[in-house]
A and B are shown apart, each in its own frame.
Chain A
């Protein structure tokens, strides 16, 4: 037979039309190009020109069309008809839905606006939602930061004026030594991957500090399988080594940090530990040439770093540097002293310290790039210390995360590797003044707006949101003595506190895009009980009203009274604003939009439109004109363009001004969205080469930042080795000042508000518990799943239909456990059953699993027999939202005492092998949720794409 090769149509047209928009399969917000064929989505690919992803797309992003066409999409507004949680709803029209919502909210606003608790999850619309809540007048608002990493965000903002997250990045191009602490995936997921590929290609060293060796840690040049919760101690030990050997960048510390600032030494006094200041409030340092205290911010100072000095007013003071050095030179930070606790051998700690010093000082980079410092002095070169660090929830999900993260920032400062070539680099609008000059607001009054942003950065007790008796003003107790620097609220306490009526009861719980009845609940079983608990009268519920805006049939939907169905991310406008969580990179400021690329085929509305519509119906200030008519008749698209936060300052920074020729500040431009769309739905301003480094002290950058509204004045931002605001809280706890913590909180504040980083064992890791619950239990983000919502995606779910509990092989064998055994994971909170998998690359005392794979049967329109509900499990069932009782019976939230960050990873457990007679499935399981009306019965066979292929010749 003659060789016949098939005739292949190699140049088939991909699409009829391609539209750019922004991915929202996760919060990384990559640029995408959506190809449409016959009105259906044929292919989604990365936008090559986009600053975030430069053309690549992760697994989730590539599966976007399966989420878009998910059978779990809600189809119409739903009004609950049965009891909460039963899932019985009736479909209603939008008019009715809006009237109901406006009815509930209207009466709250007229009587007591704080009785509305409005919390939003994974959204990127905080510029709108936060403003809406403020206009409504409730302080009870926050977005998901309290789940993720608020202690790290705060630690960064109170220390270096920027932070990890996606607000800063390693200098991927130049770093020689990269240390990553506790990162499985992170928000910046594609940029990190792109960066790691580059970095390893260049032969730089990548160290991953992580109890688990998967994902990024798998490709690290060195993996340090640290014991969870001990990073702070490890880092302080590195600092010990560096100080001991004098391998620190003293000039950097003198020039850019508050290391030379003088701290008052007056034990027991009301000023003890405060920064010594002059009459104008300027910090002082001791000038070597004048042998006198001088303004520490002056460019001419020649500061002394060591010594005890007497100031003009008689105060005794020592430089921050000395306090710091004294502390960490102490033998308790020596590698030998810490190795047991951290699980990293002393010689390794020593070697890492030596390698850091080597990279920073022996491999320093000198860029031939002139720049001008804050004082206007021109420099011909920029010195880089090519050591970069990045950290995420391995640090933050512990109750010591704020201080551990400060320890990392301290290490960076000692090495002089903040915003220098090869170091950690800010992404605009960072750096910002330390801390950002915004104070939280909490005074709610009937029919009144709050008059400004709700969330902010306290600098002392006076900024707390507490009543005269110390009671929290916010439902979640953020900014109370319990969590003074809770810059993103305490999301995980909202439902508990609302149910308990502690500090007060509420009327309406309004959630948006947060599955808080399931995977973002600590102890979900109990959370569901709280949502369904009846009021004393037996009629209503203890939480009287619950409105939920979700796009899909998540577990939480079944518990709402009113469900407002959102569109998918491909059906709406969205705004990724510099006022929110921007998509900037180290070399440029950027923002982006989402545009509708397909029309909804269901009775759904973009939530932002709904929110603006609600604001208009409620006649909230800012939403209506003087005559009561809608200010944004074009809803969100209108708001994105025309809303002004301040003169000329709006949600989008690009193409402002009537002619679209302004960036940052400028009048609204009616053609702005068209400009964005024509540019691939993003805007980016690239910084000039002289504006790219040392931006906390770079005049050209700071001048520009001031024109953009990122900073008020182009002043140097002095990095804070010593965190004075913490000391102010401490002094209050010691009995100084008008505002003092209630008795119960005093000791806690005094202990944890240390102005210099220190390490303490996470709360749940009391050594007493060590024997009873010998194992640490943590979760990791699967790269191919986004929290709960990946499981509705026909492609992604195949990758993780269930999750195992991974554990160290030797540990397991010692306990007689083998692969696939079912075990009970028991904590002080309860127990959950899971199947185990043995592995090599995990800290001996740690077990872990993939996060949020376990599903409630029936949720997400999956078959109730889906493995997600049988083999999949949530570790959350054994995480308690409250810590064990204090002597007076009070139970603190399970969180970082400084910021209220949820301490997901403090968990301690033991494993008990399940009996052979037990069912091989997870437990607890909850009754299956019924399918709400309007949802289709899902396909048994999915032949997506068959239609695109069309007819081919041949065939049998």
Chain B
């Protein structure tokens, strides 16, 4: 159903820590790997060995610079579906293929209903929808629905592929509808934010901002410079060490 379900209490989503994301693309590739054989398989690649290789990816990692010169920051920025609470990508879908699950808020595409009109991808401000030109249907991040609920997997493995694989642990998964969940607490502590709130889609995913730099005097508690030695030592600094009692 394309109309949205009544707002649920469970809001599964991701929290991405831009302070430590090194832009390694592990999450993007592991996502591709998992999903290539998963719910939305395949994630077709066109012209894979040719002049214009391009394929379906549910997660793409951008790099930005913010600010000027040495004062600025380089920020690596993974982008995938934010599982919005007000996802127009769902409402615009003429067939009901695009839907938001009532029980956990995951936004999915039912490929069997999809006519490939691409409208939902126009309606997503974040570019989170990926059209599979070969299959003719829209695909997208499933929040690894076939992994997070997969009872054939070890309990600990029931997290999205991108989260499990992130080497720096910049990705967190959980229920953002529960203020007590670890992800909600993380968002609260670190000032996690929504992307483009002005669009009104109310994304569930949150991004944690880069922490302030520690590159000014006093930031580690150290003085701005070491004290200059006393006048006597200045003359022959070696003398300071001559009387030091040392043992081995």
Contacts and interface: CB of A to CB of B under 8 A. Distances in A.
Query: Is B a genuine binding partner of A?
Result: yes
Interface of A: 1-6, 8-14, 37, 42-46, 48, 53, 55-63, 65, 71, 176-177, 189-190, 193-194, 196-198, 200-201, 205, 213-219, 221-223, 225, 241-247, 250-251, 254-255, 260, 288, 298-307, 321-322, 325-326, 329, 347, 350-351, 353-355, 357-359, 362-363, 375, 783-784, 792, 794-799, 801, 810, 839-841, 861-863, 865-867, 938-946, 948-949, 952, 954-956
Contacts of B169: 194, 197-198, 201
Given A246-B240, A784-B25, A863 B49 contact: yes
26 contacts: A5-B1, A8-B146, A13-B152, A43-B33, A45-B164, A194-B168, A197-B167, A213-B74, A215-B23, A223-B215, A245-B229, A251-B246, A251-B247, A302-B245, A306-B239, A322-B238, A783-B26, A840-B67, A840-B68, A840-B70, A938-B48, A940-B48, A942-B48, A948-B38, A954-B110, A955-B112
A306 B245 CA distance: 12
Interface string B25-46: 1101110111111110111111
B125 interface: no
Contacts of A307: 242
B224 A350 contact: yes
Contacts of A841: 65, 69-70, 72-74
A205 B49 contact: no
Nearest to B149: A10
A949 B217 CA distance: 57
Given A219-B21, A798-B57, 18 more contacts: A12-B146, A44-B33, A57-B165, A62-B33, A193-B24, A214-B63, A221-B219, A251-B247, A299-B248, A303-B248, A798-B45, A840-B67, A840-B69, A840-B74, A943-B134, A945-B43, A954-B110, A954-B112
A840 B170 contact: no
Contact of A260 (B67, B222, B246): B246
A949 B139 CA distance: 14
A801 B43 contact: no
Contact of A219 (B22, B28, B96, B242): B22
Contact of A783 (B23, B57, B227): B23
B101 interface: yes
B119 interface: no
B53 interface: yes
B42 A796 contact: no
B70 A225 contact: yes
Contacts of A63: 29, 32-33
B49 A362 contact: no
Contacts of A213: 73-74
Contacts of B168: 193-194, 196-197, 219
Nearest to A242: B226
A301 to B, nearest CB: 5
Contacts of A942: 42, 44-46, 48, 55
A42 B37 contact: yes
B186 to A, nearest CB: 11
Instruction: Count chain B CB atoms within 10 A of each CB in A243, A321, A322, A945 and give the residue with the most.
Output: A945
A217 B220 CA distance: 19
A58 B44 contact: no
A325 B248 contact: no
Interface in B168-204: 168-170
Contact of A946 (B23, B42, B166): B42
Contact of B222 (A65, A225, A243, A354): A354
B223 A354 contact: yes
A177 B74 contact: no
A810 B69 contact: yes
A78 to B, nearest CB: 20
Interface string B59-83: 0000101011110111110000000
Nearest to A839: B65
Contact of A355 (B167, B210, B220, B242): B220
Q: Top 9 closest A-B pairs, CB basis?
A: A358-B222, A945-B36, A197-B168, A193-B167, A245-B226, A948-B37, A954-B112, A938-B49, A218-B74
Contacts of A247: 226
A862 B215 contact: no
B42 A944 contact: yes
A783 B22 contact: yes
B220 A205 contact: yes
B153 to A, nearest CB: 7
A351 B224 contact: yes
Contacts of B170: 197
B120 to A, nearest CB: 15
A485 to B, nearest CB: 29
B55 to A, nearest CB: 6
A58 B53 contact: no
Contact of A58 (B24, B65, B112, B210): B24
B244 A250 contact: yes
Contacts of B215: 221-223
B92 interface: no
A353 B63 CA distance: 32
B164 A3 contact: no
Contact of B241 (A190, A305, A353, A797): A305
Nearest to B28: A59
B150 A14 contact: yes
Contact of A254 (B227, B242, B248): B248
Contacts of B150: 10-12, 14
A59 B25 contact: yes
B144 to A, nearest CB: 10
Contact of B37 (A60, A355, A945): A945
A794 B220 contact: no
